[in-house]
């Protein structure tokens, strides 16, 4: 099991976590990875499935927030225009977005032969970060088969973190970054609800990281301009409409800022949010359909949950990642090692 920030004495915020402290605490959500490590090639694919059914037929309500747009993601324009997601969400390296889109389209057509014939085309959603320093990104190593592997491996249990899947070659604040996740549990109308976040952390200038207790870890690396990225996927089962969900998703940026990042010019910082508590039937025949929405006077609880879960997910990505040697012998230290040295 991956080393979590809490195991090293780092706690973010005041809200309780879910049982797994992962995005998979949101009922129905599944996560799968395919990891590629072969010499100078260190990359992969991570898949997030909002539910286990046919997403094209039963879309989830969704929104995205472009915090800083130095990125090459696919599908975000339609997500914000229509307010839905209709494929799994894939995360990968910058130059593999096209391959992932094609794989998602093939999977959707196989399950829905009417796509592009008698009904609409499909909007594949893919996010990326540049893992070039630790991965031979020009090798274009990610294949459609790797995508299918990540989708097939998706499950609702504990989520592997650190240098796995899309996170294999990522760097964060000069330390080894990668995949991290966290969740928060809330009570609304006497019922338990969850909000979970999964991040692909590849951002932050060396020396800028600030822990919740005020310490500033030093990876002893050369300070350069911030030119990484972070992809954030937020999931919740709280019923909301698109506008409310966009407001909550925007608060992921506060979680990044709490750690000392300022969303630099060269950093692609993007959040995608969805709720399993509201869906849209692709084959809806009625002129209207009902939707349950959150009482907006209660939304501050979700703002806090999004902020805390994002902050902790990033720290989990750092703590779970061991010291790493990548392309051409390039090294990245482990935050967990630094923390142990301080104790």
Distance CA 19, CA 256 (A): 24
The crossing angle, in degrees rounded to 10, of helices 299-320 and 335-342 is 90
Do residues 137 and 168 touch, judged by C-beta distance below 8 A? Answer: no
- Is 269 marked active-site? yes
Do residues 50 and 273 touch, judged by C-beta distance below 8 A? Answer: no
The crossing angle, in degrees rounded to 10, of helices 299-320 and 242-250 is 50
Write down the catalytic residue from 25, 131, 136, 269. Answer: 269
Residue 92 class from Cβ within 10 Å (0-12 exposed, 13-18 middle, 19+ buried)? Answer: buried
Q: Residue 2: what pLDDT?
A: 57
Distance CA 305, CA 182 (A): 10
Q: Residue 228: what pLDDT?
A: 87
Distance CA 241, CA 226 (A): 34
- Is 267 marked active-site? yes
Q: Residue 13: what pLDDT?
A: 97
pLDDT values of the chain reduced to their tens digit, one per residue, 343 residues: 457 999 999 999 999 999 999 999 999 999 999 999 999 999 999 999 999 999 999 999 999 999 999 999 999 999 999 999 999 999 999 999 999 999 999 999 999 999 999 999 999 999 999 999 999 999 999 999 999 999 999 999 999 999 999 999 999 999 999 999 999 999 999 999 999 999 999 999 999 999 999 999 988 878 777 778 999 999 999 999 999 999 999 999 999 999 999 988 999 999 999 999 999 999 999 999 999 999 999 999 999 999 999 999 999 999 999 999 999 999 999 999 999 998 7
Do residues 23 and 29 touch, judged by C-beta distance below 8 A? Answer: yes
Q: Residue 3: what pLDDT?
A: 78
Backbone angles phi, psi at 40, to 5 degrees: -80, -5
Write down the catalytic residue from 2, 156, 163, 267. Answer: 267
Write down the catalytic residue from 163, 182, 183, 229. Answer: 229
């Amino acid at each position: 099991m991956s080393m979590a920030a809490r195991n090293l004495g780092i706690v973010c915020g005041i809200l309780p976590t879910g049982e797994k402290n992962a995005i998979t605490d949101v009922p129905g959500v599944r996560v799968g990875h395919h990891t590629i490590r072969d010499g100078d090639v260190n990359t992969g694919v991570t898949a997030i499935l909002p539910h286990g059914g046919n997403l094209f037929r039963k879309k989830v309500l969704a929104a995205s927030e472009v915090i800083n747009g130095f990125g090459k993601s696919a599908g975000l324009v339609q997500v914000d225009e229509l307010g839905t997601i209709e494929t799994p969400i894939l995360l990968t390296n910058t130059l593999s977005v096209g391959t992932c889109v094609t794989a998602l389209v093939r999977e959707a057509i196989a399950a829905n032969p009417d796509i592009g014939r008698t009904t609409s085309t499909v909007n594949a959603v893919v996010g990326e970060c540049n893992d070039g320093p630790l991965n031979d990104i020009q090798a274009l190593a990610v294949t459609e088969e790797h995508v299918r592997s990540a989708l097939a491996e998706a499950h609702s249990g504990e989520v592997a973190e650190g240098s796995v899947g899309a996170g294999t070659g990522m760097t964060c604040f000069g330390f080894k970054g990668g995949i991290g996740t966290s969740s928060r549990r809330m009570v609304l109308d006497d019922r338990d609800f969850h909000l979970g976040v999964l991040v692909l952390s590849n951002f932050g200038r060396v020396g800028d990281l600030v822990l919740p207790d005020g310490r500033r870890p030093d990876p002893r690396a050369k300070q350069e301009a911030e030119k990484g990225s972070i992809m954030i996927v937020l999931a919740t089962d709280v019923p909301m409409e698109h506008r409310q969900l966009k407001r909550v998703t925007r608060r992921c940026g506060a979680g990044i800022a709490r750690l000392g990042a300022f969303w630099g010019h060269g950093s692609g910082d993007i959040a995608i949010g969805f709720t399993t508590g509201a869906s849209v039937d692709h084959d809806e025949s009625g002129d209207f359909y009902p939707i349950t929405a959150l009482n907006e006077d209660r939304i501050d609880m979700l703002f806090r949950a999004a902020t805390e879960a994002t902050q902790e997910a990033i720290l989990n990505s750092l703590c779970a990642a061991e010291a790493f040697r990548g392309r051409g012998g390039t090294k990245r230290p482990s935050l967990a090692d630094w923390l142990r040295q301080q104790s």
